[in-house]
Amino acid sequence: KQEVTQIPAALSVPEGENLVLNCSFTDSAIYNLQWFRQDPGKGLTSLLLIQSSQREQTSGRLNASLDKSSGRSTLYIAASQPGDSATYLCAVFTGNQFYFGTGTSLTVIP
Amino acid sequence: EAGVAQSPRYKIIEKRQSVAFWCNPISGHATLYWYQQILGQGPKLLIQFQNNGVVDDSQLPKDRFSAERLKGVDSTLKIQPAKLEDSAVYLCASSLTPLAGGTNIQYFGAGTRLSVL
């Protein structure tokens, strides 16, 4: 069974810092991986989707990489802002189901 | 474009009572998902519909949970009777297609926060 782990569980950084969030999965047979953002009391917003054949995807200050063979993905956030404070979740799609990690709670301090 | 709509936003019930949640997906999205998110955990898939057929309900506690998607659009998730451990946020999501070759970005609703006392 696929298991998705995110480290760290919580992260606090001063505004302006670059940071990296980690996601690992146990079964490399995935079709794609998505990074989501979840604000308190709200649903999830898709940030980036990386197909299994891709190595990375970029959107603005966000860059996500995927190393399928080692079961790892990273989300890089450049020049962090207080508005980036939220929980970030990764999810892998196996072809018929999504498996989510437990998330990293990010706080960006002004 | 309207997003995924869910209601109610909050629900408080006592254990052994029944509760129902409603979801209206994005227009044209064939696939609909119900997730349970317990505090501090990632969402766990309960059931997945493709149009009005069930694709995966392997993690749905069928002794107390049921879901339907009549006419392949709106969906309801019911819990009867509720237990304390059912306290969670219930998220509905939809996507155009679940197939790997397609764009299977999921769009989520705001969720229903259930508290069972």
- List residues in chain A touching B: CB distance below 8 A: 4, 31-32, 34, 36, 41-46, 49, 52, 89, 91, 93, 95-98, 100-103
CA-based R_g, chain B, Å? 14
Give the closest-approach CA distance of A18 to chain B in angstroms.
Answer: 25
Render pLDDT for A30-59 as a digit per residue (tens, 0 to 9).
989 999 999 987 888 999 999 999 999 999
The pLDDT-based confidence of B72 (bands split at 50, 70, 90) is confident
Q: What is the pLDDT of residue B74?
A: 95
Average pLDDT over residues B20-37: 94
Provide the pairing of β-strand B88-95 with A4-7: unpaired
Q: Do B41 and A97 touch (CB under 8 A)?
A: no
Q: Which residues of chain A have pLDDT under 70?
A: none
Looking at beta carbons, which residues of chain A come within 8 Å of B91?
A: 43-44
Provide the number of CB pairs (under 8 Å) joining chain A to chain B. 53
Contact of B78 with B72, CB cutoff 8 Å: no
Average pLDDT over residues B94-103: 66
How many helical (H) and strand (E) elements, i.e. helices and strands, does chain A have?
0, 11
Q: What is the pLDDT of residue B2?
A: 74
Task: For B19-58, give the DSSP string.
Answer: EEEEEE--TT--EEEEEEE-TTS--EEEEEEETTEEEE-T
Provide the pairing of β-strand B44-50 with B10-13: unpaired
Provide the pairing of β-strand A98-100 with B88-95: unpaired
Contact of A70 with A60, CB cutoff 8 Å: no
For B104, the closest of A44, A93, A102 (CB atoms) is A93
For A32, the closest of B33, B100, B108 (CB atoms) is B100
